[in-house]
Structure 1
Amino acid sequence: MSDLLFSVDNGIARITLNRPDRLNAFSTEMIDLWIDALETVRDSEDIRVVVLMANGRAFCAGGDVKVMTQGEGMLYNNTGAGDQVSTGLARKNTLWKRVQRVPLLLQEIDKPVIAVMHGLAVGAGFDMTLACDIRIAAQSATFSESYVKAGIVPGDGGAFFLPRIVGVDKALELLWTGDSFTAEEAKQLGLVTHVVPDEQLNEFADAYVKRLASGPQEVLRFTKRAVYQGLHTDLRTSLDMISSAMAVVTELEDYKEGVKAILEKRTPNFK
């Protein structure tokens, strides 16, 4: 079986981490397949929503420590001695060309991206979910920014995403200590959107995703762009962008259907 599974059904793309025997720790194959899947999602008009999930008893243990110690300086690479990374520059390039492509691609996707987490999610395995739009966690899930315990820095987006979500001081505390925290604590910090009982995780996530998939797609995509770009622009620029989006979406069939459904007091049937 592949280290990562990718499927599309009724407009819903599912990216499933599939190294359960290694707690879904990253492998080169997993990262390469992940990049390919995200590029497909980004470029396909038929995909409406993306779900990131995992097989086995954990979501993701981040970098595979066993692999990282197989050769001097090896980092997130398990293809054999010939691919060992032995210099600082080579390590940097390995991160840039592989692992760091994942959060960059996640940010390029203008469709809803939902992370569904259970069990353990630590280090880069947790940080990848911070690049998603919505995070749904099982009640028993646990999290940790564990880089410091391995003597490495947060190389996969944690130093970028964390302070934007929890503030600088709390981000530094999580990164400096590597302490574990529960799903409820993650929700209180704003790191998790929903916490649900373990036995209801898949049912809740499926209903959530299907609801988004049945919505007006261009409206969802324009709204996502406006929210994220609004974090880096001034008010005038944001308003100018959203007025352009409004001009476009009010010419679409979904707008006509939405207005008609409101007048007829029924649920809209968007395309």
Structure 2
Amino acid sequence: MTDLLYTVNEGIATITLNRPEALNAFSTEMIDLWIKALESVRDDDSVRVVVLTGNGRSFCSGGDIKSMVRRDGFLHNNTEAEDLSSTGLARKKSLWKRVQRIPLLLQEIDKPVIAKMNGVATGAGLDMALMCDIRIAAQRVRVAEGYIKAGIVPGDGGAYFLPRLVGVDRALEILWTGDTYTAEEAKQIGLITHVVPDEELDAFVDAYVRRLASGPQETMRFMKRAVYQGMSTDLRTSLDMISSAMGLVTELEDYQEGVRAIAEKRPPKFS
């Protein structure tokens, strides 16, 4: 069994973190497979929607220090995380070569990416959910940014994504305290999009992603790119981009089908 599973079924790609005995903490193998899976998602036109989830009772508990020690020599002491003997530059490069590739690849993917949060999500595990477009959590989920307790910073992009979802003051409070939040509390502050009963998580996510997969794909991808680009550009640039997108999507068959469906008062059947 590998540390990460990747499947595609009817246009829906599923990335499953597969170390349930370690609460799906990152290993080097998991990160490497994750990068390959995201490259496949980016390059495979048959993929319409992506689901990220965990196997077992955890979504992801963050980085597995001991695994990184054994395989990368990231730390010197194989039992304690406190003894950081490698150079600062080596540790920086290790982040860049592996875990930081994940948010960069996600930035290249215009398809919907859904985090199906089946259990605890802490530290980098929570950050991986924050990198997704939509977060759907079971009621049992608990989330926390626990970096402060280890005296480290969020090296995977959490400091970038967190304030964009909850605001600067709340993001700093979450990072500085390392407090744990229930799924409902996380939803109230904007960390989670939907919270559903534990036993309904699978059915809810399945219906949700199938709905997205049946939509006009190019239009949806232009929408996603426009939203994210709009967060880092001025109004004029954003309007220029969206007018170009409008010119393109109105040449597509999905647009013609949408207009016909509205006129005929029926649900559209997009390609």
TM-score range, shorter chain: over 0.9
Give SS of 1:256's match. helix
Give SS of 2:60's match. coil
- Aligned equivalents of 1:73 and 1:189: distance in 2? 38
CA RMSD across the alignment: 1.7
Deviations 1:225-269 (A, max 9, x none): 000000111111111111110110001000010000011111100
- Aligned equivalents of 1:85 and 1:43: distance in 2? 39
- Aligned equivalents of 1:107 and 1:51: distance in 2? 15
Structure 1 residues 158 and 117, CA, compared in 2 at 3 Å: closer, same or farther?
Answer: same
- Aligned equivalents of 1:118 and 1:214: distance in 2? 24
Partner of residue 81, structure 1? none
Write the letter of the residue equivalent to 2:37: A
Q: Is 1:197 aligned to 2:160, yes or no?
A: no
Give SS of 2:58's match. coil
- Aligned equivalents of 2:169 and 2:176: distance in 1? 10
Give SS of 1:59's match. strand
Deviations 1:166-213 (A, max 9, x none): 111111111111110010111111110000000000100000000000
Partner of residue 27, structure 2? 27
Write the letter of the residue equivalent to 2:209: V
How far 1:70 sits from its partner (Å)? 6.0
- Aligned equivalents of 1:177 and 1:189: distance in 2? 15
Assess if the C-alpha contact under 8 Å between 2:60 and 2:120 holds in 1: yes
- Aligned equivalents of 1:68 and 1:227: distance in 2? 36
Alignment map for 1:105-116 (pairs within 5 Å): 105-116=105-116
How far 1:72 sits from its partner (Å)? 11
Corresponding residue pairs, total? 264
Q: Is 1:215 aligned to 2:215, yes or no?
A: yes
How far 1:67 sits from its partner (Å)? 3.5
Alignment map for 1:83-232 (pairs within 5 Å): 86-232=86-232
Q: Which runs of 5+ in 2 are unaligned?
A: 79-83
Assess if the C-alpha contact under 8 Å between 1:16 and 1:55 holds in 2: yes
Partner of residue 50, structure 2? 50
How far 1:68 sits from its partner (Å)? 5.4
Assess if the C-alpha contact under 8 Å between 1:73 and 1:85 holds in 2: no
Deviations 1:120-177 (A, max 9, x none): 1000000011111000000110000011111211111111111111111111111111
- Aligned equivalents of 2:87 and 2:223: distance in 1? 43
Partner of residue 17, structure 1? 17
- Aligned equivalents of 1:71 and 1:59: distance in 2? 23
Give SS of 2:269's match. coil
Write the letter of the residue equivalent to 2:230: G
Structure 1 residues 155 and 247, CA, compared in 2 at 3 Å: closer, same or farther?
Answer: same
Compute the TM-score of the two structures, normalised by the length of structure 1: 0.94
Assess if the C-alpha contact under 8 Å between 1:67 and 1:74 holds in 2: no
Give SS of 1:248's match. helix
- Aligned equivalents of 2:18 and 2:68: distance in 1? 19
Alignment map for 1:256-271 (pairs within 5 Å): 256-271=256-271
How far 1:86 sits from its partner (Å)? 1.9
Assess if the C-alpha contact under 8 Å between 1:142 and 1:181 holds in 2: yes
Compute the TM-score of the two structures, normalised by the length of structure 2: 0.94
- Aligned equivalents of 2:43 and 2:5: distance in 1? 18
Partner of residue 81, structure 2? none
User: Percent identical across equivalent pairs?
Assistant: 73
- Aligned equivalents of 1:85 and 1:128: distance in 2? 27
Assess if the C-alpha contact under 8 Å between 1:73 and 1:87 holds in 2: no
After the TM superposition, list the runs of 4 or more consecutive aligned residues in structure 1 that deviate by more than 3 angstroms.
Answer: 65-73
